[in-house]
Amino acid sequence: EVLLCGGAIASPQLLMLSGIGPRERLQEHGIPVAVHLPGVGQSLSDHPAVVTGFKIAEPLSITDQLFLTRGILSPLRLAEWLARGSGPISTSGCDYGGFFRTSHHLAQPDLQIRFVPGLGTSPDGVGSYRDIGRNGKTPSGITLQSLAIRPNARGSVTLTSADPAESPLIDPGFGTSDADLATLRDGLRTSHAIAQQPAFSALLTEEAWPRIDLQNDAALDDYIANTVHSGNALAGTCKMGRVSDPAAVVDPELRVRGVVGLRVVDASVMPSMPGGQLGATTFAIAERACGILLSEDPASPAQRGREPAVRDPAGRGSS
């Protein structure tokens, strides 16, 4: 049996390259269709994220602690981590934060605000990662990152080529949901209010971003449209579902529909988003997969799938 664990981008890409996916999309790239599964690569979900940032006068940021100068890691900090496993290298950089319901009508929080003891070089989180990689040094400051953790938007992963070395096209669907936008607007306002509390405001010298009128929805929407970035929570592209769900890619036992001897075991099978980071849920999926495999009768159909038998659930394109 094959267990596919490439993650929410690579797993659907590998399935499609292998002829398992939406028929029309595969045919566009000349890939022979083994199984027409329209849901492969669809239903991509991610946490859209935007930031509020402030400069501070004192060199208290995590990057102040980590780097001596441009790109040179502090040997003291490295020694501290090697010897004791502590210090700034031992932190993910966003260990603190909170969960909020932006409306009292909501049963669960829809907004997460993560506190980052550092300031990027741009409000686009991904651009900042690149700059930190290149230059190592960023301004002293703090960031509050707002994430819409129960997003309504859905995007997709589609092939750009039949060549496995070519990256697929990733469209997280950001900006397609008014509800997600409202959550992020609320996040920017709440972040600003938190930063104005005395414990913070005594340290802050200047707002870095968004630097707009927070009462102006249109200005907030512009800022979100220009700076929204991934909250690193990609899921849903091989989603689990019942036979009655045409968009389902795997069944509740993680088996790819219509294919014998193939399961997907990663975040791509999540049919809906947990309201937080996906690591623990992914571990739970992996543990569940182990449980299923260990309890399964070796003579069961899934186990017998060692022969490369593939069939189309709709009865077409069998091979």
The residue ranges that bind ligand FAD (CB under 6 A) are 5-8, 10, 92, 232, 266-267, 277-280, 282
Question: 186 vs 266, which CB is nearer to ligand FAD?
Answer: 266
The answer to whether residues 56 and 201 touch, using CB atoms and an 8 Å cutoff, is: no
Q: How far is the CB of 272 from ligand FAD (least distance, A)?
A: 14
Query: Measured from the CB of residue 244, what is the shortest distance to ligand FAD in angstroms?
Result: 26
Q: Please say which residue, 143 or 182, places its beta carbon nearer to ligand FAD.
A: 143
Comparing CB distances to ligand FAD, the nearer of 6 and 317 is: 6
The least distance separating ligand FAD from the CB of residue 279, rounded to whole angstroms, comes to 2
Task: Report residue 150 as tokens.
Answer: 């129960």
* Residue 147: strand pairing partners: 49, 112
**By C-beta, is 10 or 254 nearer to ligand FAD?**
10
Which among 185, 53, 190 is positioned nearest to 117, based on CA atoms?
Answer: 53
Burial class (CB in 10 A: 0-12, 13-18, 19+), 316: exposed
Q: Which residues contact 163 (CB under 8 A, 6 or more apart)?
A: none
Strand locations in 220-260 (E): 229-230
Residue nearest to ligand FAD (CB): 279
- Our CB check for ligand FAD shows the closer of 23 and 229 to be 229
Nearest to 210 by CA among 192, 229, 190: 192
Smallest distance, ligand FAD to C-beta of residue 39, A: 17
User: Please, what is the Cα angle at 53 between 178 and 189, to 5 degrees?
Assistant: 40
Report strand pairing: 169-171 vs 156-158. antiparallel
As measured in angstroms, the least distance from the Cβ of 219 to ligand FAD is 29
Beta carbon nearer to ligand FAD, 8 or 56: 8
CB of 97 to ligand FAD, least distance (A): 11
